Amino acid sequence: MAVKENLRPGGRSARVQASVHKAVRELLAAMNRAEVTIPMIAGKAGVTPSTIYRRWGDLQELLADVAVERLRPDMQPVDTGNGQADLQAWAEQYAEEMSSGPGREMIRDVLAAQAGVNACKCAEYTRQQIDVIAGRAKARGAAFPDVDLVMDQVVAPIMYRILFGDVPDTTRVRDLVTRVMSTTD
Amino acid sequence: MAVKENLRPGGRSARVQASVHKAVRELLAAMNRAEVTIPMIAGKAGVTPSTIYRRWGDLQELLADVAVERLRPDMQPVDTGNGQADLQAWAEQYAEEMSSGPGREMIRDVLAAQAGVNACKCAEYTRQQIDVIAGRAKARGAAFPDVDLVMDQVVAPIMYRILFGDVPDTTRVRDLVTRVMSTTD
């Protein structure tokens, strides 16, 4: 089910969303996720369960919607004055955040939803961060690999390892960054 | 919950597993997965629900266990007489199978389970296939990239695209293979 986008800020729909998201975050902080139900969320958010079913379809879609909101980066990548160092710092932080307990839970929620819309958004947030780093390098007149290549050779291997049972350590992340940067030599 | 491994073939435990797996496959073929319950599976498999809870912990773990079994490759990679062509053929088939409807369902089931044991197994099956291709190339005295590099630069980007809303088309897969093979030049 497609979740409505571009809500009018402060409108009724946006207020319902904010209230429901807040209720989900509070419930997840207080109890095991397997115990959380839509009627429980509705009660806490002050809406009817049918409002939630109408808007999100099912619990899994709602959890994915909340998770992707939390995965949205809340800061620009650190600007070190050098593209490789920027990418290195960003990739290390990304690997650390995504492989943490809460990071893994959020990725699992996003991927468990049938509708792929939140998974796409998640990849799009990541791409935007790399875009910022690439844009800065170009503004300095420095070479920087294509953003698609960075997604394939840095982001994808980090995410694959996290999802399929490995931990991408700092050395590994550094190797990935060094390799992709060498393609611009 | 860890699923018991290395069952004695033909033993009681192996027979229970085979019967429960079969029941799950048949139910998933006949109805929507959201409707499948443990008592329903138990009834069809001729075991008690508590047998299933004891062995698998919950429905998600059982679904992951069945999914990973279906993800186990049932054939060796095609032997074309050339490492790059072998990897190319394997990667195209992998991308096609994993991005199909049933492939996506199986990956989702494997990743949705809390215990990561099945996700690890899934990555291990993939690595074994690459190992076979690498071993053949080496037996011919041909250069072949490190298996870790192939996992990072071919498998991970394909899986990332599938999970995060893109489709890895043949051209893209070919580019990934060509790039990783060029590292052995």
What is the ipTM metric for this complex? 0.83
Domain boundaries, chain A: 12-57, 75-182
* CA of A12 vs chain B CAs: smallest distance (Å): 30
Query: If contacts are CB pairs under 8 Å, which of residues 140-179 in chain B contact chain A?
Result: 151-153, 155-157, 159-161, 163-166, 176
Q: Tell me: domain B75-182, CATH 1.20.140.10, correct? A: no
CA B12 to chain A, closest CA, distance in angstroms equals 30
Chosen for mutation from B164, B167, B172, B182 (greatest number of chain A CBs closer than 10 Å) is B164
* Token pair recorded at residue B57: 């912990």
Residues of B in contact with A120 (CB under 8 A): 164-166
> In 3D, which of A145, A119, A118 has the Cα closest to residue A131?
A145
Q: Which fold has domain B12-57?
A: Arc Repressor Mutant, subunit A (1.10.10)
pLDDT in tens, A36-82: 999 999 999 999 999 999 998 888 889 888 888 888 887 889 999 99
Exposure b/e, A30-67, CB count within 10 A at least 16 = b: eeeeeebebeebbebbebeeebbbebbbbbbbbbbbbb
Query: What is each CA distance from A168 to A41, A43, A136, B12, B130, in whole angstroms?
Result: 35, 41, 26, 40, 20
Using a CB–CB cutoff of 8 Å, tell me whether B119 touches chain A. Answer: yes
User: B110 with B122: CB under 8 angstroms?
Assistant: yes
First to last CA, chain B: 45
Q: Is the C-alpha dihedral spanning B152, B154, B156, B157 positive or negative?
A: positive
Three-class DSSP labels, B1-43: CCCCCCCCCCCHHHHHHHHHHHHHHHHHHHCCHHHCCHHHHHH
Condensed to tens digits (0 to 9), the pLDDT of residues B135-164 reads 999 999 999 999 999 999 999 999 999 998
Contacts with A153 from chain B: Cβ below 8 Å: 152-153, 157
Tokens of B38: 């443990």
Mean pLDDT of A166-183: 90
Q: What is the pLDDT of residues B8-51, one digit of tens each?
A: 666 778 888 999 999 999 998 898 887 899 999 999 999 999 99
